[in-house]
Chain A
Amino acid sequence: MDAFLNQVFAGLATGGIYASVALALVMIYQATHLVNFAQGEIAMFSTYIAWTLIEAGMPYWGAFFLTVAIAFTLGVLIERIIVRPVEQAPVLSVVVVFIGLLVIFNSLAGWIYTYTIKVFPSPFPKEPVHVGTHFFSAHELGAVGVTLVVLALLYAFFRYTPLGLAMRAAAQNPESGRLVGIRVGWMLALGWGLAAAIGAIAGMMVAPTVYLDPNMMAGILLYAFAAALVGGIDSPGGAVLGGFIVGVLENLLGAYVIGNELKLSVALVLIIGVLVVRPSGLFGKIHVTRV
């Protein structure tokens, strides 16, 4: 029973990471109707920035917040400089741009930092936390906590602030957005910035467990994509729930059914399964087009 609970909890901890990255994917998807394949690599690269800052002697949380700010700026710049010019281009061109970004960030990280894996510190204590008769890893508890705080802040931002409302409006109906005076282009850039910032936090939370290397986020992006699909690619709440579901499912199946080596196939099976059985996911909207 103890082992089972620990597996579930570890699943929730990684699930939180998937939930964050899935949410970042959904945010870009809602605005552009495209999946940003470079999302994971931007997160990975941001984590390297954090690593550099920490190595340079900066305290962990200082590096953490500075990295979030840098990632946000990076996201905004990518939208303004690289994505904006292809806004009106055919879908395939934009997808190629996203894949190009993926390769660029991956190679850039390898070039600057080499492909040797690095240890990334956790801000949480090494000793396990004692809850009742159970022991939980402090880092996993902390990562879940950070994820929940990020999600709550995002929810409050989109739900209760004028800027959050404007961003939702711009993503939904850009033309009407302009007619009420929203600077739609900047809302898109802001969305990219937020997505990159969320990704950076996810990267910093997962790096202590999986170690830091340029391919760190490749598997995670797959799980996050599966999570977003399970929840419904256009539903932020669904993406978060999907993240936790995928995290727990992956861990339990890995521990008890198919073994750790085949874990990643869970994500692939989920992706194909959802697309075949229920393409709109748990909470997504079913799109009907009149012809």
Chain B
Amino acid sequence: MATLLEVSNLHAAYGPTRVLHGIDFVLEDGSITALLGANGAGKTTTLRALCAMVQTSGEIRFGGARIDGRATEDIVRLGIAHVPDGRGTFVNLSTEENLRLGAYVRKDKRAVEQDFERIYAYFPRLKERRHQQAGTLSGGEQQMLAVSRALMLRPRLLLLDEPSFGLAPLLVREIFDIMRAINQSEKVSILLVEQNAAMALDLADRAYLIETGRVVLSGSADEIKQNDAVRRSYLGY
């Protein structure tokens, strides 16, 4: 498999506070890769760094070309869709307008119209609520909307930040199942950030464990699952 995303020696800081201290990882094209770690380890910052939403240094290559130093708006145009921490819903706009914004940079307008139906097939609830103000949707529906908005880009790479956060376990399972389906049927690569290590490892092909801004462990999802330290600290058995 070809490498889609390659990150080397990535540092990031919020003002004077340094959060990432030289992170390295790769993501194979077509794979689901998980970044695991405790609260504050730097997972969200890593995703934000990929989209130029924090100051960074180091190298980020996407499809072989360097993207570090480019503006967020331009990185989106390369086909990287980010479902941010907190979902980033446009709360005063309707569900449908939120989805339309997801396809803002696409030029193939006819295919965009068809994609609405594709999305509604995955998430029928969103179709029911398409004229409703997005801020009035439930937490789960807003998470579905956030994922759908990202998919409207027809991305090559989907960055998911804590999709399970604040959701009922049943709903999390549903969203994870859909993620797997999207990964397999549409060849969208996924970089998943999760605190819920057990669920993330079930979904992912590979995983990296981040502690205080550094990668401390990496391997296939199965290898990571077998690791004693991971089992004790993150899986709880």
Residues of A within 8 A of B (CB): 162, 165-166, 168-169, 172-173, 175-184
Contact = CB atoms under 8 A, between A and B. Distances in A.
Contacts of A178: 53, 71-73, 76
Nearest to A30: B92
B128 to A, nearest CB: 22
Contacts of A166: 101, 104
Contact of B102 (A168, A173, A180): A180
B153 interface: yes
Interface in B119-158: 149, 153
B196 interface: no
B223 to A, nearest CB: 33
Contact of B97 (A165, A181, A183): A165
A279 B191 CA distance: 45
Nearest to B102: A180
A26 to B, nearest CB: 14
B89 to A, nearest CB: 7
Given A165-B100, A169-B101, A175-B84, A180 B149 contact: yes
The listed residue with most A CB atoms (<10 A of its CB), out of B92, B149, B153, is B92
B104 A162 contact: yes
Given A168-B93, A169-B93, A179 B84 contact: yes
A171 B128 CA distance: 27
Contacts of B88: 173, 175-176, 179
B51 interface: yes
Interface string B48-63: 0001010000000000
Contacts of A179: 51, 72, 76, 81-82, 84, 88
18 contacts: A168-B90, A168-B92, A172-B91, A172-B93, A173-B88, A173-B89, A173-B91, A175-B53, A176-B84, A176-B89, A178-B71, A178-B73, A178-B76, A179-B76, A179-B84, A180-B76, A181-B73, A182-B73
B26 to A, nearest CB: 23
Contacts of B91: 172-173
B163 to A, nearest CB: 15
Contacts of A181: 73, 76-77, 104-105, 153
Interface string B66-102: 0000011100110001101000111111000100111
A182 B76 CA distance: 9
A169 B73 contact: no
Given A162-B104, A169-B101, A176-B84, 17 more contacts: A165-B101, A166-B101, A168-B92, A168-B93, A169-B90, A169-B93, A172-B92, A172-B93, A173-B88, A175-B53, A175-B88, A179-B51, A179-B82, A180-B76, A181-B105, A182-B73, A182-B104
Contacts of A168: 90, 92-93
A173 B153 CA distance: 18
A199 B77 CA distance: 35
A159 to B, nearest CB: 10
The listed residue with most A CB atoms (<10 A of its CB), out of B53, B76, B84, B104, is B104
A176 B48 CA distance: 12
Contact of A180 (B53, B71, B92, B105): B105
A288 to B, nearest CB: 13
A169 B89 CA distance: 10
A173 B72 CA distance: 14
